[in-house]
Amino acid sequence: MLDPPATAAAATDEVLLQQVAGGDRRALEQLYDRYEDLTYAIAMRVLRNGADAEDTVVEVFWELWRARERFDARRGRCRTYLTMLARSRAIDRLRRRQARPELHGTAAEAPPPLAEVASPGPAPDQTVRCSETKAEVAAALAGLRTDERAALELSFYAGLTHQEIAQRLDKPLGTVKSHIRRGLMSLRNALGGLQEGGEQ
């Protein structure tokens, strides 16, 4: 019913996070609406199972709400925080599942093509990243070399350590480290403008 015009009137993530820290449920609902698709997509990518992904999202926002007084909302970084939290909770769940291999396959072993993960939907809310940064990030992601991407994804979505990735890919540890660093560096460069000027 409120339906604010998309850009100017919309509170930034950081303002919403501060309001959440102060106990404002409607701010949490707004953050949820902004990050539902992202947190779900991350959980889905890790877990490959819609029910598990939904459980993960419930857990993530429960934790955001129940630990709200512990956040220093002034320091912001809401998107990074929720991304990391969703990943972390999904990987917890993945590990528990792998401890019961009779129930599920080993999801982290061989990721199926991304296209089968979810039905196509609207892109993430524009307020999450500004459009220039989004384009830069998209270009950097598209420009990752295959070996860089493989190492990054095993680390991020399967929760493997560098050492484990080296074993998995049968490559020297140093090579894996440099793939990860190079890949991350290009992603970091894509964000450069945001970090210099943006979110303070």
Nearer to other proteins, 66 or 110 (CB): 66
- The four Cα atoms 29, 85, 90, 194 give a dihedral, to 10 degrees, of 90
Q: How far is the CB of 44 from other proteins (least distance, A)?
A: 7
Q: How far is the CB of 7 from other proteins (least distance, A)?
A: 20
Q: How far is the CB of 158 from other proteins (least distance, A)?
A: 11
> Tokens 């990943």 belong to which residue?
87
Nearer to other proteins, 8 or 101 (CB): 101
Q: How far is the CB of 193 from other proteins (least distance, A)?
A: 12
Q: Is residue 17 a contact partner of residue 31, using CB atoms and an 8 Å limit? A: yes
One-letter amino acid of 189: N
One-letter amino acid of 114: L
Nearer to other proteins, 8 or 103 (CB): 103
Nearer to other proteins, 8 or 116 (CB): 116
Per-residue tokens: 70: 């512990």
- The four Cα atoms 171, 174, 175, 180 give a dihedral, to 10 degrees, of 120
